[in-house]
Chain A
Amino acid sequence: MTKPDLRSVADEALDALLRQLPRQSQARPRPFFYGRVQARLVDAEASTARPLLPDWLRRPAFAALLGALVLSLSGDCAAGGAAATGPASYQAPHLPAR
């Protein structure tokens, strides 16, 4: 067979297959679909009604960033505090008089 012949054969075969598709897609959802949509709607409304935390804090990346910031700041304070109080015995070195 020549190339155009092969193409027309393939076209016809494809058309025959495509004609079966609408008959194939007559599926329906399970019974009581509306009831399940209703239940889902109630769930969705309940979960959006009273968020415990602000929206940005419920994102893990922001929460982790906030945690890291708190930790790093508390570390700085401790180090700063230690430096400020310092050991009581520490004295500046005496320089020889000229």
Chain B
Amino acid sequence: MDPAVAAEAELVAQLQQGSEAAFRTLVERYQDRIYRVVLSLLRSPEEAEDVAQEVFVEVHQTISRFRGEAGLSTWLYRLATSRALKNLRRARAKKRFAYFTSLLGFGNEVLHEAPTHAHPLALLEGQQQLGLLLEHIARLPDQQQVAFTLRHEQELSYEQIAAVLNTTVPAVESLLFRARKTLRTRLQPHFRHD
């Protein structure tokens, strides 16, 4: 057995026995990866931290049901992406509701849009094109956005992405192809002017 796989199985066994030390090891081992993947989908450090915490709380509460059909990191990525997407959908619904209430004239306050956050590092470096790219990635359909983010920001393999999305490698290739085509079309005018 691969030593990494054996170590992961051992960690899962300890977690299922309720070991506090094992849980600490898990959090410290995966916190950066989980935080980054959530941040790349939500673009808000506060929300990303919140969702990353929720992911580990969920792991603690449901580890007894983990049967090891997928790898531990795949399961964590799956929890993280689904929670991040749920947050995104909630934010979009809130935005739509705010828009309708403003159209119907309920309340006189200014349209209370949920803030959209630019990627913090893009802001720091002032890279306009990168900011634009991130903005267009955020507008992709959910599955394409997750696949594209896992591939290009987290550098996961096609097989890993397929496992996280619970789909096949050809389906991942198709998602990435369509995402790239959309991004190229939307960004082409900006490339030509440079």
Q: Which residues of A contact B (CB under 8 A)?
A: 6-7, 9-11, 13-14, 17-18, 20-22, 24-30, 33-34, 36-37, 40-41, 44
Contact = CB atoms under 8 A, between A and B. Distances in A.
B143 interface: no
B109 to A, nearest CB: 24
B108 interface: no
B127 interface: yes
Interface residues of B, number: 39
Nearest to B191: A13
20 contacts: A6-B192, A10-B192, A13-B187, A14-B183, A17-B187, A21-B152, A21-B153, A22-B154, A24-B122, A24-B130, A24-B153, A25-B36, A28-B36, A29-B48, A29-B52, A30-B49, A33-B53, A34-B24, A37-B53, A37-B56
A20 B187 contact: no
Contact of B45 (A9, A17, A27, A34): A27
Nearest to B34: A29
Contacts of A21: 130, 133, 152-153
B159 interface: no
Interface of B: 24, 27-28, 31-32, 35-36, 39-40, 45, 48-49, 52-54, 56-57, 60-61, 119-122, 127, 129-130, 133, 152-155, 180, 183-184, 187-188, 191-192, 194
B27 A17 contact: no
